[in-house]
Amino acid sequence: MPHQQIIRHPPDRNGVVGTAESLQLIQQPAFRGLEQRVLQTPLLGTAFPGGRIAELRTNTLSDLWIVGDLHGDLPAMINIWRYASSESFRAGLQPGLLFLGDFIDRGMYSSECLQFLFWLIVHNPGAIGIIPGNHDVSLTYDPEHGFRSRVTPAEYAASLKSSAAGSLWNRYSQNCSIAHTAIELFRRCPAAVITSDGTLFSHGGVPHVDLHPRIRSFEDLSMAPCVEDFTWLRLNTTAPKKRPNRHNPGCEFGGDDFDQFCRLSVNLQNPVRQLVRGHDHHPQRYQIHSTTAGAGILTLNSMGHWLPDEQANSPAPLPCIGRYVYGRLPEVHQVPMPQPADLSFAQDQPAMTEQTRSDLRPFSIDRGLSHA
């Protein structure tokens, strides 16, 4: 199977949006109060009846872009939409986005990323798809303990707890509304998406080999252990086979394990031929892995900042996204970003205060999200 190489674009930074402009944009009224509308807006893909797997019919796709982990990177998210929509419109096509999850944690602007996600869904009905990541599905709420998460680090849940004691009640109330909506939205989303050409999209992996004897129909892929593996499994590119570890939801699978799942899927409704995923972080923000049987696995990261546990090199990484190609792994595109000095993601940098946000000058939505 041919696997696409990265398409490198010249470092044209004209029109890209930096941190300050991103925050100006997200504070405009058009991005607020969307919580009710977003839950009533259709998403990309058709869920199988009673299942957690969604189908994308390729004859209805216009121009589909796949977005990997964002981890609170609002400037990357906005620039990805600007870039993808510009490329699509230039080709005379309508853009669609399929997010592979992990909108929150490990970055400074989790709540703002969720706000922008809500705006995208409401203003592009039926063109935005979501596969929640492990950080997304781990966010929960109960009246006794408030917001909690089963992952570490979980900065977003912690920030909601800490801000409750602050004096900025209006901002805290808005953030809580956003978080509650996100929990419900992610609960409704599929754990994996498949297209008619056999491309499978998930955040983590595929059901591990110990589950294969229990999978006799496509509906069986919606079993809770399968959903866990779609969301949590990590790819090991050096060991072809990995032993399942049900005591650790984030255990690993190898290329031969994926090949075995592909053979199993031949007897199901949609045979799987290749995998597009996120979850594992790579310095170059993408990785292409070929299995023993020749199947392709593409891992995408779409954040433009270094994570705390990464060795921060200079310059900052460029976000990578995929452009769907029928019958092949997606093309990989690097998204232009501002100069590193404008990206305020240093680990020790404090978050913007409410006063700082209010001092920002208004930022035009047309300018911030133009398709030209």
The pLDDT value recorded for residue 358 is 33
Residues of the chain under the 50 pLDDT cut: 1, 167, 341-368, 370-372
Whether 363 maps to a domain, the answer reads: no
Whether 369 maps to a domain, the answer reads: no
Closest CA to 108 of 366, 356, 339, 369: 356
The pLDDT value recorded for residue 47 is 72
Whether 235 maps to a domain, the answer reads: yes
> What sign for the dihedral angle of Cα 237, 238, 239, 244?
negative
The pLDDT value recorded for residue 94 is 92
Looking up residue 234, the CATH number of its domain turns out to be 3.60.21.10
- Domain count for the chain: 1
Whether 242 maps to a domain, the answer reads: yes
Separation of alpha carbons 57 and 64, rounded Å: 12
- Which of the 8 DSSP states describes residue 11? -
Separation of alpha carbons 107 and 72, rounded Å: 4
What are the pLDDT digits (tens) for 224-276?
Answer: 999 999 999 999 999 999 999 999 888 999 999 999 999 999 998 789 999 99
Q: Taking the model in full, what pTM does it have?
A: 0.90
Whether 364 maps to a domain, the answer reads: no
Residue pair 91/61 in contact (Cβ under 8 Å)? The answer is no
Whether 10 maps to a domain, the answer reads: no
Residue pair 151/120 in contact (Cβ under 8 Å)? The answer is no
In sequence order, the 6+-apart residues with CB closer than 8 A to the CB of 315 are 340
Whether 355 maps to a domain, the answer reads: no
The pLDDT value recorded for residue 49 is 61
Residue pair 197/169 in contact (Cβ under 8 Å)? The answer is no
Whether 161 maps to a domain, the answer reads: yes
The pLDDT value recorded for residue 308 is 84
Q: What is 133-162 written as a DSSP string?
A: -HHHHH-EEETTTEEE-SSSS-HHHHHHHH
Domain range for 301? 30-338
